[in-house]
């Protein structure tokens, strides 16, 4: 199951997808967002990632689609432990 998730992430990277963490101050609140953006043709990959993690949202913006996690607790309980346990293979 974890291997399928990482294959989806690797495919997303190969398809010129962009992923990032963003942390910012919104008024007096610290906010964090994890995002993966792909072309709309690859939206099924984002739905697979959402299904695997059990958290996050998929949205469409023109010819792009976006998977995002905005809940910090979801990041702490689901995403961060997974990324700590399994390193991403990247050249950036």
> Is 53 inside any structural domain?
yes
**2 pLDDT band (50/70/90 cuts)?**
low
**What is the count of structural domains for the chain?**
1
Query: Who has greater pLDDT, 66 or 4?
Result: 66
Domain hosting 29: range is 2-85
> Is 64 inside any structural domain?
yes
Quote the CA–CA distance of 76 and 17 in Å, as a whole number: 23
> Is 81 inside any structural domain?
yes
pLDDT tens column, 5-53: 555 555 445 445 677 888 888 888 888 899 999 999 999 989 988 998 9
> Is 62 inside any structural domain?
yes
> Is 57 inside any structural domain?
yes
> Is 19 inside any structural domain?
yes
Quote the CA–CA distance of 24 and 42 in Å, as a whole number: 28
Query: Who has greater pLDDT, 1 or 26?
Result: 26
Rg (CA), the chain: 13
What's 27's domain CATH number?
A: 3.10.28.10
Q: Is the pLDDT of residue 88 over 70?
A: no
Q: Is the dihedral of CA 59, 30, 10, 6 positive or negative?
A: negative
> Is 92 inside any structural domain?
no
> Is 91 inside any structural domain?
no
């Amino acid at each position: 199951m974890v291997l399928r998730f990482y294959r989806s992430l690797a495919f997303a990277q190969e398809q010129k997808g962009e992923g990032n963490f963003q942390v910012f101050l919104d008024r007096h609140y610290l906010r964090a967002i994890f995002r993966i953006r792909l072309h709309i043709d690859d939206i099924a990959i984002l739905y697979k990632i959402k299904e695997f993690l059990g958290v996050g949202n998929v949205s469409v913006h023109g010819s792009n689609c976006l998977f995002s996690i905005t809940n910090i607790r979801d990041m702490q309980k689901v995403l961060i432990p997974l990324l700590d346990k399994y390193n991403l293979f990247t050249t950036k």
